[in-house]
Structure 1
């Protein structure tokens, strides 16, 4: 039983990092439960609960995918220890998302199946959930040993298409306002840029991270423009021009998803620069001694 307690490390000791992450992933569910108990979920409480759990499933999946890049950029090895917990929390929220949807339809299985068949975004969502179930069931150390590291890694690479399906499901059900899906898509794009740079052995220096942040922010703005242009027929130029409103009005409310993606990338670049500077200090301190020894 001790091995399943999420706040303990592999040696059975309480980990502050694991405990903090566990409480944070539990917090949205507690807030939703409190709002339900006090009647603050509006006129359609089940619908609101369905949307909130689905949104948090996507957000936590994004955070899960951020673990490996941030571990490299920040040189924070212990961060990898919370990835499994984050992944299982994604499955928990996604499962709650489906369960609440079934409750909202009064467990009318005929109606539920017909809705899934008729609506493309529900087919996409169910497919993403099936992928999460497969990943969750094979997340244990025992499954890694049974499958072998290579086969296990090949299966768990499905997390990337699952993320794409989740984002598509989120965008399609959002209909007109796709601000949140576009923001999460941009952040996912930023994480994929980090992975591609690492794959091609490009050093993740602060300057490289700054360029990646600005380029991904621009790409996010263009994706938002394209979505509204094709989905609603809105003027592509006016939508893209809205990204410049922050300069005109100097109002935080004018920040678009592209801005937030760029700011997130710049914040990571700044943290990477601080980490690199701290890592360089001991080397600089040893240089005079090394130089003296050489003389």
Structure 2
């Protein structure tokens, strides 16, 4: 067994980092609130069911946030943000474990029933498979495992991308008819994957005008694909007319649709990135020796 551990609020040199400690504390907030609401009877007529949903939601949210950290850090040129990526990813795995644990409690610890349900229900099967992958990624996230696995470490941790899709599918099925939040999260996931596919030189070394066009195009494409995903889901899995859903994206008269929110979020991010580039203090020129 490999044992190499340091407190998650310190860096690799053992120095205390206030930002890392603050993020770590925030990761506990949803769980503490859920326990409080559960203990005080504020989760409705089926409190355990609501707690199961809440922990599952936060598992997916933290998974998506962990995937967003690298693009945010690179685009904002904020390397310190990378220090919390591991903590957020481990939090996603822990909330997923809590999600399953509460389901076991809700089934009165009848493990045979739990196993049969996971085996027979497709959305539970893929959810459990995602949980196993998240546990494996969290367990091997330490520096010691990185050295031990070598190149295989990256291969293993790239499973987060396909299983991110699987987690979203589980989210869609779990949400039943109203899939507004899964669609919105899927749109952000599309943006993140599109950003990762761009060459590094495109993301960093282009002029302001090119970057504006690049981020603007990513925002528009992500929003359009989000509307397409919503259309496909309703058309393939429900009796709701998908064309009516698609038509709702052509106007904001009845409120913003998930595709609109994806456009707002990605354009806002683009504005922040471009503003950062405009206000960045240029590095002083180096003197060339005579």
Q: Normalising by structure 2, what TM-score? A: 0.91
Q: Which residue of 2 aligns with 1:261?
A: 262
Higher helix share: 1
2:68 aligns with one of 63, 66, 69: 66
How far apart in 1 are the matches of 2:146 and 2:109? 36
Alpha-carbon contact 1:3-1:12 (below 8 Å) kept: no
Alpha-carbon contact 1:138-1:144 (below 8 Å) kept: yes
1:119-175 deviation per Cα after TM superposition (whole angstroms, max 9, x unaligned): 100000011011111111111111111111x11101110011111111011111211
Q: Which residue of 2 aligns with 1:122?
A: 124
Q: CA deviation at 1:273?
A: 0.6
How far apart in 2 are the matches of 1:123 and 1:3? 32
How far apart in 2 are the matches of 1:38 and 1:258? 37
Q: Which residue of 2 aligns with 1:193?
A: 194
Q: CA deviation at 1:2?
A: 11
How far apart in 2 are the matches of 1:198 and 1:90? 28
RMSD of aligned alpha carbons: 2.1
Unaligned runs of 5+ in 1: none
Q: Residues 92, 127 of structure 1: CA spacing in aligned structure 2 closer, same or farther, 3 A cutoff? A: same
Q: Residues 216, 138 of structure 1: CA spacing in aligned structure 2 closer, same or farther, 3 A cutoff? A: same
Q: Normalising by structure 1, what TM-score? A: 0.89
Q: Which residue of 2 aligns with 1:219?
A: 225
1:13-69 deviation per Cα after TM superposition (whole angstroms, max 9, x unaligned): 321221221122111011111111211011111100100000000000000000111
How far apart in 2 are the matches of 1:65 and 1:198? 18
Q: CA deviation at 1:263?
A: 1.1
Alpha-carbon contact 1:214-1:262 (below 8 Å) kept: yes
How far apart in 2 are the matches of 1:8 and 1:206? 37
Within-5 A mapping of 1:76-115: 76-115=78-117
1:244 counterpart SS class: coil
Could you list the structure 1 runs, at least 4 aligned residues long, displaced by more than 4 angstroms after superposition.
none
2:249 counterpart SS class: helix
Unaligned runs of 5+ in 2: 205-210
Q: Which residue of 1 aligns with 2:24?
A: 22
How far apart in 1 are the matches of 2:74 and 2:243? 38
Q: Which residue of 2 aligns with 1:203?
A: 203
Within-5 A mapping of 1:5-16: 5-16=7-18
Report how many residues are paired: 280
1:93-126 deviation per Cα after TM superposition (whole angstroms, max 9, x unaligned): 0000000000000011121112112210000001
1:175-227 deviation per Cα after TM superposition (whole angstroms, max 9, x unaligned): 1111111111111111001101136x423623311210111011101110111
Q: Which residue of 1 aligns with 2:147?
A: 145
Within-5 A mapping of 1:237-276: 237-246=243-252, 248-249=253-254, 254-276=255-277
Q: Which residue of 2 aligns with 1:181?
A: 182
How far apart in 2 are the matches of 1:45 and 1:171? 21
How far apart in 1 are the matches of 2:59 and 2:203? 31
Alpha-carbon contact 1:183-1:257 (below 8 Å) kept: yes
Q: Which residue of 2 aligns with 1:170?
A: 171
